[in-house]
């Protein structure tokens, strides 16, 4: 087992992204910070490093506790990091709020008609 690995590979191996290409895009897009600094996909991750990640508008704050040798099942991948409890609670609150918003949206059988589309636009904050 190596003592360091590229950050894009670590994110892919620990199952934060479905492909390594998506992990690379997230790092180059500025959605991943290593020890508080914006980083490049080739930056090395070591045990004890801190990774802050935004994925699908949800925040993750992780401490690296292991370097995986390959992409493993999710249960094994979770042993490679420890997540900050504060961000877990914030993420759960945000997910609950998103679910509540979805419950309040008007429902239709299939494609929305003209009236329902207007209601959706108003609800999303668009006027036209």
Is the pLDDT score of 49 beyond 90? yes
Is the pLDDT score of 122 beyond 60? yes
- Fold of the domain spanning 4-123: 3.10.290
Domain boundaries, the chain: 4-123
Q: What is the mean pLDDT of the chain?
A: 90
Q: What is the pLDDT of residues 65-120, one digit of tens each?
A: 999 999 999 999 999 999 999 999 999 999 998 888 777 776 767 888 888 888 88
Specify the DSSP element, H or E, that contains 63: strand 58-64
| pLDDT tier at 1, thresholds 50, 70, 90 | low
Per-residue DSSP letters for 50-114? EEEEEETTEEEEEEE----SS---HHHHGGGEEE-HHHHHHHHHHHHHHHHHHHHS---SSS--H
**9-15: average pLDDT:** 96
């Amino acid at each position: 087992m190596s003592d360091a690995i590229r950050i894009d590979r670590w994110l892919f191996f620990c199952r934060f992204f479905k492909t390594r290409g998506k992990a690379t895009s997230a790092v180059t897009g500025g959605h991943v910070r290593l020890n508080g600094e914006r980083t490049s996909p080739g930056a090395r991750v070591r045990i004890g490093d801190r990774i802050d990640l935004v994925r699908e508008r949800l925040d993750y704050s992780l401490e690296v506790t292991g370097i995986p040798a390959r992409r493993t099942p999710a249960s094994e991948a979770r042993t490679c990091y420890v997540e900050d409890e504060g961000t877990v609670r914030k993420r759960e609150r945000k997910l609950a709020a998103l679910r509540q918003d979805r419950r309040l949206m008007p429902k239709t059988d299939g494609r929305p008609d003209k009236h329902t589309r207007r209601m959706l636009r108003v609800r999303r904050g668009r006027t036209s």
